[in-house]
Structure 1
């Protein structure tokens, strides 16, 4: 089931030439990849904030040098960022998480803008788990939330990532609450059913987005 509203207008993209942009977000285990795979199959370019986040900390990038300066060489493995160690640091210390977010979020935003500028299509998709928690929502014209009950989030994530329920709940607790996310959505797609049902809903949204461009 999809819902559409315009009660949450988003700032227009800057004057750089970019296509109409749909932001796809949702909690862990909601099925964002299944949604973006559908749009990609329709020829819609996908800009992935998680990939952008990895690009900006590649060896030789200024952000990686700043992270190494703060945490020492033990934060690196063969010159690359040790994500597991960094994840442990920021989960255990809210101040360190805020420092890292302050460093990376503006750089990730710039990388996303660059990739959107290069997209050539009627519309583009930006997928990000933290779209509504950061200023990334300002880069899109509509927010599409992929929604499932928390029980499905837990079971899918535990099976996919081989995590315990406690570990999965810890991640869920760091994310925006489901009700908040839904309240900020322009469009909602229910991904608790079959893949065929999901694709049927997404096809309607795809046609709708084309009508807006």
Structure 2
């Protein structure tokens, strides 16, 4: 089974593409959602995060997301340390999930597959892009945060110029109907690649 990564900077619209792929019958693993589940549900991971960030990281067994954001978004070394705890657990969970699927290919949706090196374990990469000003506007509306707060998050992600050369497919998400057409086109090409891999 072919494993495909789906990534894009904050506000790029990778979730739009992920949902379109789900509508086409593709199994999609939401790394961000599963990371939250694992950070709350895995005792060992929860203990390691508490040791790293302090007891304020949780309210009971629930992630204190504003506290964690305040600790890591302006401290690259702390963010790197947190990711070093979480990403291997998510990767193992994805592999276990993928083994249970029956489809020509599966998708791992994640914000930082290039930044954390996770793309190296995948067969193909799809990158979703959008102009920076549009991405900032979307996140401000979605999360009710300031422009500077969005820029702070963006600083922890690579720019598109660095990611595009590593991607097999690039979907520019500026107009919904065009994005959906481009997603269907990429889907057809991935099905063909998956079929060729099976027959080789």
**How does the TM-score come out when normalised to structure 1?**
0.85
The answer to whether structure 1 residue 205 and structure 2 residue 186 are counterparts is: yes
Matches within 5 A, 1:170-189: 170-189=152-171
Task: Please report the RMSD computed on the Cα atoms of aligned residues, expressed in angstroms.
Answer: 1.5
- Residue 12 of structure 1 corresponds to none
Q: Which runs of 4+ in 1 moved over 4 A?
A: none
Residue in 2 aligned with 1:78?
Answer: 60
**Is 2:109 the partner of 1:114?**
no
SS in 1 for 2:39: coil
Determine helix, strand or coil for the equivalent of 2:126.
strand
In the alignment, which residue of structure 2 is the partner of 1:96?
78
- SS of aligned partner of 1:174: coil
Relative to total residues, which structure has the larger helix share, 1 or 2?
A: 2
CA contact (8 A) 1:45 1:125 kept: yes
1:134 maps to 2:116 = yes
Distance 2:77 2:86 in 1: 14
Paired residues of 2:2 and 2:105 also in contact (CA < 8 A): yes
Shift of 1:210: 1.0
8 Å Cα contact 1:75-1:81 kept in structure 2: yes
The Cα shift of 1:66 comes to 1.6
Aligned length: 194
**Cα distance between partner residues in 2 of 1:88 and 1:70:** 14
After superposition, the Cα gap between the structure-2 partners of 1:205 and 1:65, relative to the gap in structure 1 and judged at 3 Å, is same
Query: Where does 1:35-46 land on structure 2 (aligned, <5 Å)?
Result: 35-46=17-28
- Please say if 1:146 is aligned against 2:128: yes
Structure 2 contact 128–170 (Cα < 8 Å) conserved: yes
Q: Which residue of 2 aligns with 1:163?
A: 145
Residue 98 of structure 1 and its aligned partner are, at CA, apart by: 2.5
Residues 113-139 of structure 1, C-alpha deviation per residue, up to 9 Å, x if partnerless? 111221211111111100001132123
Deviating more after overlay: 63-72 vs 41-50: 63-72
Matched residue of 1:145: which SS?
strand
Query: CA offset at residue 112 of structure 1?
Result: 1.5
TM-score by length of 2: 0.90
Cα offset for 1:79? 2.4
Deviation at 1:60, TM superposition (A): 4.9
Alpha-carbon contact 1:59-1:80 (below 8 Å) kept: no
Structure 2 unaligned residues grouped into runs of 5+: 195-200
Give the C-alpha shift of residue 184 in structure 1.
1.2
